[in-house]
Amino acid sequence: MTTTHLDGVSVTTQASVYFDGKCVSHGITFADGTKKSVGVILPANLTFNTGAPEIMECVAGSCEYRLAGTEAWVKSSAGERFSVPGNAKFDIRVTEPYHYICHFG
């Protein structure tokens, strides 16, 4: 099920902009201190590095991703999620705007 609303959160109003504007996100914090980010990746082929483990939830659009150490590209569309380990890299390729929620774990 795709998340459509996040209630009861504090939003960082200044965006984090990566890859010359191809990825833009806003940090959100829940009352219990849980942090997530919401954003969009515009068409591009990018490589991200993680600190903490992450779950990428697609809320609109789609992408293909490849985890470090694997050869296969996997498609992720609206309503789907994929997990990335902490202190890792993953490649993502986007051909249409990919709207996401990044759940930090």
User: What gap in Å lies between CA 94 and CA 61, rounded to an integer?
Assistant: 9
pTM of the model: 0.93
Is the model's pLDDT at 11 over the cut of 80? yes
Report the percentage of the chain scoring pLDDT > 70: 100
Q: Is residue 2 part of a domain?
A: no
With a CB cutoff of 8 Å and minimum separation 6, the contacts of 90 are 47, 48, 50, 65, 66, 67, 68, 84
Is the model's pLDDT at 41 over the cut of 80? yes
Q: What is the mean pLDDT of the chain?
A: 96
CATH code at 42? 2.60.120.10
Q: Is residue 4 part of a domain?
A: no
Give tens-digit pLDDT for 69-96.
999 999 999 999 999 999 999 999 999 9
Q: Is residue 5 part of a domain?
A: no
What's the pLDDT at 73? 98
Q: Considering its fold, how many domains does the chain have in total? A: 1
What's the pLDDT at 2? 83
